[in-house]
Copies of this chain bind each other. A is one copy, B any other.
Amino acid sequence: MSKENYKIFLKGYGLKATPGRIRLLKYLADSKKPNSIKDIGKAIGTRTMDQVTIYRTLETFKTLGFVRRVDFHKDYAYYELAGKDHHHIFCENCGRIEDFEGCGSDKLIKTALRQSKQFASINDHSIELFGVCRSCARSLK
């Protein structure tokens, strides 16, 4: 996607198309996987965009619904563009992330709602798998 398209995209959500936002959006779109704030800060450069602004921008994007938070049992959060429904396998050793699709969430949500006494609907779901990637498995041997 071109810079011009990102501008249009942002404006479509009523946001001002500042260089930082365009940069962050492009980074998320290009990286195609969840990133920690540190990753983002390192990639974008803290001179380009203050860490605080990254936090604030991600929060804005998340509220508008096109960015999602992902948790990998770490003490910091990851963020990714909310595109097609997909989920992740996370390497417990090196943090490598791989995507997969087909979580069968429709069925899952139905099953959960059938059992639930307290909830009438589900807005969101989060599925993460944990393992050790081949490369780590090899070097840990």
Partner of A131, one of B71, B87, B119, B132: B119
Q: What size tier do the contact residues of chain A reach?
A: 35 or more
Q: What distance in Å separates the Cβ of A97 from its nearest Cβ neighbour in chain B?
A: 9
Which of A73, A98, A112, A124: most chain B Cβ within 10 A?
A: A112
Partner of A126, one of B111, B119, B123, B130: B130
Contact with B along A104-134 (1 / 0, CB 8 A): 1001110110011111111111111111111
Q: What distance in Å separates the Cβ of A138 from its nearest Cβ neighbour in chain B?
A: 10
Partner of A103, one of B96, B108, B122, B124: B108
Q: Does A100 contact B (CB under 8 A)?
A: yes
Q: What distance in Å separates the Cβ of A125 from its nearest Cβ neighbour in chain B?
A: 5
